[in-house]
Chains A and B, each alone.
Chain A
Amino acid sequence: MSDAVLPAIERPRAQPMGESGLVKGLLIGTALLFLTAFLFLPLITVFLEGFRKGADVFFDSFSDPDTMAAVKLTLLVAAIAVPFNALVGIAASWAIAKFNFAGKNLLLTLIDLPFSISPVISGLVYVLLFSAHGWLGPWLIANDIEIIFAVPGIVLATVFVTFPFVARELIPLMQSQGTSEEEAALTLGASGFHTFLRVTLPNIKWALLYGVLLCNARAMGEFGAVSVVSGHIRGLTNTMPLHIEILYNEYNFVAAFAVATLLAGLALLTLVAKSFLEWRYAGELAASHRH
């Protein structure tokens, strides 16, 4: 009887806050299975195929002078493209994060533009500009300047593709840091350059390194854009990814995968360094990388 008069006391049955062990296990299992098929297996395959015919054959792959030329060209291109994009990224984020000006959002959008353009199109635009049949082609030929099917074209295409990496790490971080520290230094009489070197740079150094790491990984691994402008001249204009393609298409699978292990190793190193930065210097990275 009393139940009928006091219905309000009857609480709804509390439902569990988490999933049962079985559901949890199923979800984790499904996620890991998916990752294995799409991520872990490809990575392991690179190393397995590289060593398929033993360590000797693996190491022999690197005695090929064309392979060494490809390694050197890749390092050269990254050594130009990465510092250049780091400088542009610093300049862009200084202007965008420390000042308010008209057209700021447009500039932000334009900096990210290369991310939404197919790498092949990134290469194509330079071919249309600089190749023999391009807009500037006749002038370049007259002045004996080679860009397409030569190293300068490869560098340009790489810079295009990796353009946003450093800027997009620095801009959100510098925006969240504001300008008060710089203003204090300037008020105390430091020069503008000194302020940047002693106040701003220490604040952004880990984020800068983070951006440079990602930029470098992409610069060394870029395939589509570089493939369009390179001309695939063995020993001259083949970067490592392009050399892998040639070896693969010649059915020289062990050599292709052997060169691929170098790039896979670089990718793993990049991931380790990146995770370390996220773990150790979380507070000094853009907020989206703190976990």
Chain B
Amino acid sequence: MAQLVLPRLREPSVIPGFGVALGFAVTALSLIVLIPLAALVLRAASIGPAEFWNIASDARTLAALRLSFGAAFIAALVNAVFGLLLAWVLVRYEFPGRRIVDAMVDLPFALPTAVAGIALAAIYAPNGIIGSIAGYFGLKIAFTPLGVTFALIFIGLPFVVRTVQPILEEVERDIEEAAALLGASRLRTVFQVILPHVYPALLTGFALAFARGVGEYGSVIFIAGNIPMVSEIAPLLIVIKLEEFDYGGATVIATVMLAISFAMLFLINKLQAWSRRRLGNV
């Protein structure tokens, strides 16, 4: 009888295996991801607000959080500009080696972060290829916040290119033609007709690059120099706390990082929905 009153949780289907497939997937998801994450939240909750605030507002913690979020933000901005340029060049122009360049854009996805980390450190260190040139102009990259930003630019680039590229491919040539025939200059056509179609995707790419950058560890720690209060990122501070068996400290920093990350992703989601509405479902 009760079944008759319950709302239907699943549309009927002749295809079998729903229970097994969903059961297996949800069990694995719960055991591997959800329950361990819940353990983190519970641990944080058991710390108590006063102690939590004490750890979270510690100068070293704040400096690390500021660096992680700040460097990730700047890196994502740089990637938004150059990623858009790269996507444009790959979609619109033919040049020798275009296919190879296109494939290589995914290198940061495929190259292990530790490998990228030691390679970037070798290049941007004061005696490295680019580091020595920069040093000639009095600019220090490795072992400074700038080095952290450079590593995050490497990590985040494909996120922007790969979200913008397919949208740019879809833009109809007709609207460009119309704009050109109506007398718009090329610059105006590009910035007021073509690019507005791309902005929501660009925002998504920016958000993905930013989120990845905030949590990035492997590619950063080699180039950062890890000087407390200067070039020490938040994930590294978690590792340091763990090595000191300060589980409470590690938990608090992790919780704050997660909370800020999710709040920002939520905000960017809203911003995206708004820009989609405004530009009429592009």
- Output the residue of A46, A117, A264 with the most chain B CB within 10 A: A117
Q: Is B61 an interface residue (CB 8 A)?
A: no
Chain A residues 159 to 199 lying within 8 A of chain B, measured CB to CB, are 159-160, 163, 179, 182-183, 186-187, 192, 195-196
Shortest CB distance A162–B (Å):
10
Chain B residues 95 to 127 lying within 8 A of chain A, measured CB to CB, are 95, 99, 101-120, 122-123
| Contact across chains for B111 and A264 when beta carbons are under 8 A apart | yes
Q: Is B177 an interface residue (CB 8 A)?
A: yes
CB nearest neighbor in A for B177: A17
**In the complex, chain B residues whose CB is within 8 Å of the CB of A40:** 104
Q: Is B257 an interface residue (CB 8 A)?
A: yes
**In the complex, chain A residues whose CB is within 8 Å of the CB of B136:** none
CA A282 to CA B262, docked complex, whole Å: 34
Chain B residues 1 to 41 lying within 8 A of chain A, measured CB to CB, are 7, 9-11, 13-18, 20-22, 24-26, 28-29, 32-37, 39-40
CA A244 to CA B119, docked complex, whole Å: 11
Known contacts A17-B177, A133-B245; is-contact A41 B129 (Cβ 8 Å): yes
CA A217 to CA B112, docked complex, whole Å: 8
| Contact across chains for A241 and B82 when beta carbons are under 8 A apart | no
Known contacts A46-B115, A99-B13; is-contact A92 B247 (Cβ 8 Å): no
**In the complex, chain B residues whose CB is within 8 Å of the CB of A18:** 92, 186
CA A15 to CA B187, docked complex, whole Å: 10
Shortest CB distance B43–A (Å):
5
* Consensus secondary structure, chain B interface: helix
Interface string of B191-233 (1 = CB under 8 A from A): 0000000000000000000011011111000100000000000
| Contact across chains for B25 and A92 when beta carbons are under 8 A apart | yes
| Contact across chains for B39 and A125 when beta carbons are under 8 A apart | yes
| Contact across chains for A117 and B32 when beta carbons are under 8 A apart | no
Q: Is A271 an interface residue (CB 8 A)?
A: yes
Q: Is A24 an interface residue (CB 8 A)?
A: yes
| Contact across chains for B262 and A116 when beta carbons are under 8 A apart | yes
| Contact across chains for A121 and B238 when beta carbons are under 8 A apart | yes
Q: Is B281 an interface residue (CB 8 A)?
A: no
**In the complex, chain A residues whose CB is within 8 Å of the CB of B116:** 42
CA A113 to CA B32, docked complex, whole Å: 11
Interface string of A96-120 (1 = CB under 8 A from B): 0011111000010011011111111
Known contacts A27-B93, A99-B15; is-contact A248 B222 (Cβ 8 Å): yes
Q: Is A75 an interface residue (CB 8 A)?
A: no
| Contact across chains for B184 and A15 when beta carbons are under 8 A apart | yes
**In the complex, chain A residues whose CB is within 8 Å of the CB of B99:** 275
CA A95 to CA B222, docked complex, whole Å: 42
| Contact across chains for A179 and B13 when beta carbons are under 8 A apart | yes
User: Count the A residues whose beta carbon is within 8 Å of the partner chain — how many?
Assistant: 105
**In the complex, chain A residues whose CB is within 8 Å of the CB of B85:** 27, 30-31, 34
CA A223 to CA B111, docked complex, whole Å: 11
Q: Is B146 an interface residue (CB 8 A)?
A: no
| Contact across chains for A163 and B114 when beta carbons are under 8 A apart | no
Shortest CB distance A18–B (Å):
8
Q: Is A13 an interface residue (CB 8 A)?
A: yes
| Contact across chains for A221 and B180 when beta carbons are under 8 A apart | no
Known contacts A118-B216, A124-B250; is-contact A42 B120 (Cβ 8 Å): yes
| Contact across chains for B115 and A159 when beta carbons are under 8 A apart | no
| Contact across chains for A128 and B154 when beta carbons are under 8 A apart | no
| Contact across chains for B119 and A271 when beta carbons are under 8 A apart | no
- Output the residue of B13, B154, B236 with the most chain A CB within 10 A: B13
| Contact across chains for B242 and A124 when beta carbons are under 8 A apart | yes
CB < 8 Å neighbour of A124 from B122, B153, B254: B254
CB nearest neighbor in B for A119: B217
A54-62, A201-209, A255-263: which lies at the interface: A255-263
CB nearest neighbor in B for A99: B18
| Contact across chains for A98 and B118 when beta carbons are under 8 A apart | no
Closest 3 pairs between A and B when the two form their complex, measured CB to CB: A118-B215, A221-B112, A12-B183
Q: A49-B122, A119-B218, A270-B110 are in contact. List 15 more A-B contacts (CB 8 A).
A: A15-B180, A27-B88, A38-B157, A95-B21, A111-B29, A116-B215, A119-B217, A120-B239, A121-B257, A186-B14, A214-B110, A217-B109, A221-B115, A227-B218, A275-B103
5 A-B contact pairs sorted by A residue (CB < 8 Å): A43-B107, A95-B25, A129-B36, A221-B111, A271-B104
Binding site for B on A (CB under 8 A): 12-19, 24, 27-28, 30-32, 34-35, 37-43, 45-46, 49, 84, 87-88, 90-92, 94-95, 98-102, 107, 110-111, 113-121, 124-129, 131, 133-135, 156, 159-160, 163, 179, 182-183, 186-187, 192, 195-196, 214, 217, 220-224, 227-228, 240-242, 244-245, 248, 253, 256-257, 260, 263-264, 266-268, 270-272, 274-275, 287-288, 291
